[in-house]
A = this chain, B = another copy of it.
Amino acid sequence: MTNSDKKNDGPGQSLDDLREAIDSIDEQIVSLMAKRQKVVKRVTEIKKARNLPVYHPSREEDLITHRRSQGAETGLDPDFLEELYRVILRQSRIEQTRRMKQTAVLPGGIILIVGGRGEMGRYFERRFAEAGYQVRILDQADWPNAQSLCDGIHAALISVPIDQTNAIVHKLAPYLPTDAVLADITSIKASPLTAMLETHEGPVVGFHPMFGPTTSSLDKQIVVATPGRQLASCQWLLDQFAAWGSVIVTADAREHDEIMDLVQALRHFASFAFGQFLCRKNIDLERTLDFTSPIYRLELGMVGRLFAQDPGLYCEIIFASKERRALLREYIQSLQENLDMLDTNNKDRFMAEFSKIADWFGSFSEQAMRESTYIIDKLIERF
């Protein structure tokens, strides 16, 4: 507190008085937050009793719309209120998830994780154990005990590298109880699903969790589920992901794979090739960062993060199938078609191409602009 702060500018007008008024308002705000949390706790109990998911997107959007309009009426910036409520709602989901995950959707369930000593295997081992499941691990050295490990299990979750998945499925199947769910978390789905359906007579489902083992919370994380057989008998496992806060997207295995060609392989390959070029040119990364706009820092970060990860994983993703390699070839050829435009300094052609692509992106580009602007603001705030 400085001297000037204490100077009184009139009745009820000193900085001290105003700060006391703010403190009193803040105390009331925090009390209301605590009251809010108690009501949310009761909501959680009902959701838990009825097996309802934690995340209810339309209720959240509705709530935010109301707070935004109340803000506009009272002279508050609606964007500020939205940001505030995103923080509040996220905390609310985390609290709810924490309370809900103590209980397994299948109480007393036994889960076998095949490849349980890999990074994703250990990740799911922790999750299932926290939720109260009995978790068993079958890794490379454990095959002599495969039969006893499989006895009485309710689900086997295959978590091994893509190119070993099918072989492991074939090796495991003879030991499985007929009524156990056979599931995998491989990032391609058609071929493992076929292998599982061929070798196991009971319930089969394929998963692709769209996140890595460094993800701190499953909150809002997407898990793609590709149904195989007896989906009703697999439902508890889907519900378990939902109870952790994940969003389940159900898809046909082949549709999933086609989309992943683009979402994973093409995007990762483009980042790989960009990093490769920076390396070949041996550019001075540090100095370029001094000059960077947040957007370039973020884009370079997206490329850089690839190379902090396991080369084997990306190798598997990029070389997963002949179709995928053909798509990457097409991408390179598409780039080549711009050579002539650069050679001839053909700005008109660039402008025409740009407009065509912008039309094709349509409203997505505006949405992308809004979303990435928000993210850039966050980046500036933080670094």
A248 to B: closest C-beta gap in Å: 11
Decide if B91 touches A380 in the complex (CB within 8 Å): no
Decide if B302 touches A302 in the complex (CB within 8 Å): yes
One of A75-83, A144-152, A199-207 at the interface: A75-83
Q: Which B residues are in CB contact (< 8 Å) with A383?
A: 371
Q: A368-B308, A375-B378 are in contact. Are A275 and B39 (CB under 8 A)?
A: no
Chain A interface helix/strand/loop/mixed: helix
Does A143 interact with chain B (Cβ within 8 Å)? no
One of A105-113, A229-237, A292-300 at the interface: A292-300
A35 to B275, CA, bound (A): 48
Q: Which B residues are in CB contact (< 8 Å) with A287?
A: 259
Does A178 interact with chain B (Cβ within 8 Å)? no
Decide if A75 touches B305 in the complex (CB within 8 Å): no
Give the bracket for the number of chain A residues in contact with chain B: 35 or more
Which partner residue on chain B sits nearest A95 by CB separation? B77
Option from B30, B40, B216 in Cβ contact (under 8 Å) with A81: B30
Max chain B CB contacts within 10 Å: which of A291, A371, A378?
A: A291
Closest 9 CB pairs of A and B: A304-B368, A34-B74, A308-B365, A210-B293, A301-B368, A307-B358, A311-B354, A308-B369, A279-B360
Q: Which B residues are in CB contact (< 8 Å) with A343?
A: 325, 329
Q: Which residues, 70 to 116 on A, are CB-close (under 8 Å) to B? A: 70-71, 74-77, 80-81, 83-88, 90-91, 95
Q: A15-B43, A307-B354 are in contact. List 19 more A-B contacts (CB 8 A).
A: A26-B66, A26-B85, A33-B81, A80-B91, A222-B293, A249-B290, A275-B357, A276-B334, A282-B360, A305-B372, A308-B365, A311-B350, A311-B351, A314-B354, A315-B354, A328-B342, A332-B338, A374-B382, A375-B379
Q: Which B residues are in CB contact (< 8 Å) with A49?
A: 9
Q: Which B residues are in CB contact (< 8 Å) with A88?
A: 84
Q: Which residues, 308 to 360 on A, are CB-close (under 8 Å) to B? A: 308-309, 311-312, 314-315, 318-319, 325, 328-332, 334-336, 338-339, 342-343, 345, 347, 350-351, 353-358, 360
Q: Which B residues are in CB contact (< 8 Å) with A296?
A: 263-264, 267
Q: A277-B334, A335-B273, A378-B375 are in contact. Are A351 and B35 (CB under 8 A)?
A: no
Decide if B32 touches A28 in the complex (CB within 8 Å): yes
Q: A18-B46, A25-B32 are in contact. Are A222 and B81 (CB under 8 A)?
A: no
A352 to B: closest C-beta gap in Å: 9
Q: A75-B34, A267-B296, A343-B329 are in contact. Are A291 and B210 (CB under 8 A)?
A: yes
Decide if A305 touches B52 in the complex (CB within 8 Å): no
Max chain B CB contacts within 10 Å: which of A22, A42, A309, A357?
A: A357
Decide if A36 touches B43 in the complex (CB within 8 Å): no
Does A285 interact with chain B (Cβ within 8 Å)? yes
Does A23 interact with chain B (Cβ within 8 Å)? yes
Does A256 interact with chain B (Cβ within 8 Å)? yes
Q: Which B residues are in CB contact (< 8 Å) with A224?
A: 291
Which partner residue on chain B sits nearest A344 by CB separation? B325
Decide if A76 touches B351 in the complex (CB within 8 Å): no
Decide if A211 touches B293 in the complex (CB within 8 Å): yes
A260 to B87, CA, bound (A): 36
A4 to B: closest C-beta gap in Å: 6
